[in-house]
């Protein structure tokens, strides 16, 4: 839910007692790198750049950011874990790119033509891609 919310730059509405949030939920809602995608100054919404797999269950969404990088959301709408691939050709990128996992605050490396990640069933991941 949070990954999609950040990609569409929409206001987040919470229907819970904020004083009773557990640590996991509080960390989810206050991740600075993830929130920066939602609040990016360009204000652009993410768009679907690819759909693959049975019933198009494996999806990649991309959003241009003010600093010239791209936020990329990888979704697995299927019932089993699957590898979701973000291809530079779909993202209108070329050359070596650096990939960062925004949920885990971790650089994942440099990649030449694509980046792939195993995503849990009904799961999502949020990465940032920028040129070297």
Q: In what order do the strands lie in the sheet with 47-52?
A: 47-52, 58-64, 70-76, 123-131, 97-101, 106-111
Residue 59: pLDDT band by 50, 70, 90 thresholds? very high
What are the tens digits of pLDDT across the range 68-81?
A: 999 999 999 999 99
Q: Across the chain, what does the average pLDDT equal?
A: 95
- The average pLDDT across 84-111 equals 98
Residue 23, CB half-sphere, CA atoms under 13 Å: how many? 0
pTM above 0.95, yes or no: no
Q: Which residues contact 68 (CB under 8 A, 6 or more apart)?
A: 130, 131
Beta partners for 126?
73
| Residue 55 pLDDT grade (very low, low, confident, very high; cuts 50, 70, 90) | very high
What is the per-residue pLDDT for 63?
98
Q: Residues 17-25: what's their mean pLDDT?
A: 89
Residue 38 CB neighbour total at 10 angstroms: 19
């Amino acid at each position: 839910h949070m990954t999609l919310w950040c990609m569409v730059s929409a206001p987040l509405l919470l229907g819970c007692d904020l004083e009773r949030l557990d640590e996991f939920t509080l960390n989810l809602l206050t991740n600075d790198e993830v929130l920066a995608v939602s609040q990016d100054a360009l204000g652009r919404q993410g768009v679907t750049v690819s759909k693959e797999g049975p019933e198009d269950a494996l999806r990649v969404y991309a959003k241009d950011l003010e600093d010239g990088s791209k936020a990329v959301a990888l979704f697995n709408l299927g019932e089993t874990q699957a590898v979701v691939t973000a291809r530079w050709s779909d993202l209108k990128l070329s050359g070596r790119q650096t990939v960062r996992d925004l949920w885990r605050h971790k650089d994942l490396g440099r990649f030449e033509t694509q980046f792939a990640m195993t995503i849990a069933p009904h799961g999502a991941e949020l990465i940032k891609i920028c040129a070297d």
